[in-house]
Structure 1
Amino acid sequence: MRADLEQVFRSAYPRVVAVAARVLGSRDEAEDVAQEVFLTFGRSAVPAGEAVGWLSVAAAHTALNHLRSSRRRAAREEAAGDDGAVGPDVADTVVTLEERRRVRAALARLPRKHAVALVLRHSGLSYAEVAAALDLSPGSVGTTVRRAETALRKELNRHASSD
């Protein structure tokens, strides 16, 4: 067990959960992912100075793996179907849930590098943090994220026309 695990956990846990929740749309599932990621980190030799970047990428990868699991996807869709919404906003809620499901499904179909870059950037990491986490030059992060956004839009449009 790492001597620095508790300190790294205390400082990085909120970010790890936020990255995973961005992918999964569920805080409970994101906390499960965070546990997996910190267990792996605890057995790793990742230098403490690289911990936040490593943990962010690991959270994105692990969350994407969970997202791609058909068993978990079915459970999420079933849970989203009976969210208890009542009143005049039910239609809006259903549309919003369906749109989130479509985006998450499209994200899961993207190449791993694009999906992770999008998740990290849209989880609040700076270009410098994304660059460090993905071992990219800071100047290429914007291009990578734009290409990933374009790929995501294409994927959404491709599947919208086939629905």
Structure 2
Amino acid sequence: MEEHVAVLAADDHDRPAGRAERKGGGAVTTLPHRGGVRADLETVFRYAYPRVVGVAARVLGSRDEAEDVAQEVFLTFGRSAVPAGEAMGWLSVAAAHTALNHLRSGRRRAAREEYVRERDAVAADTADAVVTLDERRRVRAALARLPRRQAVALLLRHSGLSYAEVAAALGLSPGSVGTTVRRAESALRKELNRHASSD
């Protein structure tokens, strides 16, 4: 399964404002801060931005789009009351959720098709480029069909978070993370096989 999830990182080059999701999927009520933005936003942004972009890029396959997702996530975080000690986990989960929302919404389709056309036009071996892009598309589409909790657990684990970090971010016991990730990998494999056989 590593190879399938690794495909999502190979080209790594909607939630309303005022609400956000916490570990268990519950909402964090946002609170206004002085000036409307929490005081620690810049500090948290500096250390968490690379991970937030990395998680989103693994889903979307585009650094530019991942940076757009990171902007959304940090805007929501800036108005939230998420404790600073929970920021990294919260931001990682929010990045995965927001990127999956973008993936599922279909808003990216026109931009993706244009990107594929341009990339194929300059590729040294167009056939290889198309096969690679098609494989990434299939993996992302299968990931978007997984139950949200499984998809997020899989994304976080394969984005470099430790079992303990995934557990903290999703409100799971550390011992259950491995089982959750294995089930997600199995579900992803089944989705890929099911759609491959129907093509």
Q: TM-score, normalised by structure 1?
A: 0.96
Matched, 1:26 2:82: no
Partner of 1:86: 123
Deviations 1:26-85 (A, max 9, x none): 000000000000000001000000000000000000000000012313421332232143
3-state SS in 2 of match to 1:44: coil
Q: What does 1:66-81 align with in structure 2 at a 5 Å threshold?
A: 66-81=102-117
Matched, 1:146 2:182: yes
> Runs of 4 or more off by more than 3 Å in structure 1?
none
Q: How many matched pairs? A: 162
Matched, 1:36 2:76: no
Contact 1:21–1:27 (8 Å) recurs in 2: yes
Partner of 1:113: 149
Contact 2:57–2:66 (8 Å) recurs in 1: yes
Relative to its length, the structure with more helix (as a share) is: 1
Deviations 1:65-117 (A, max 9, x none): 00001231342133223214332x32221111100000000000000001001
3-state SS in 2 of match to 1:46: coil
Partner Cα distance (2:85, 2:56) in 1: 21
Deviations 1:119-158 (A, max 9, x none): 1001000000000000000000000000000000000011
Contact 2:123–2:129 (8 Å) recurs in 1: no
Partner Cα distance (1:86, 1:73) in 2: 21
Q: What does 1:50-69 align with in structure 2 at a 5 Å threshold?
A: 50-69=86-105
The AA in structure 2 aligned to 1:111 is P
Partner Cα distance (2:92, 2:123) in 1: 36
Partner of 2:5: none
3-state SS in 2 of match to 1:124: coil
The AA in structure 2 aligned to 1:40 is T
Gaps of at least 5 residues in structure 2 are 1-36
Which deviates more, 68-77 or 129-138? 68-77
Partner Cα distance (1:16, 1:111) in 2: 21
Sequence identity (%): 86
Contact 1:85–1:93 (8 Å) recurs in 2: no
Partner Cα distance (2:73, 2:47) in 1: 14
Gaps of at least 5 residues in structure 1 are none
3-state SS in 1 of match to 2:107: helix
Partner of 2:26: none
Contact 1:108–1:115 (8 Å) recurs in 2: yes
The AA in structure 1 aligned to 2:126 is V
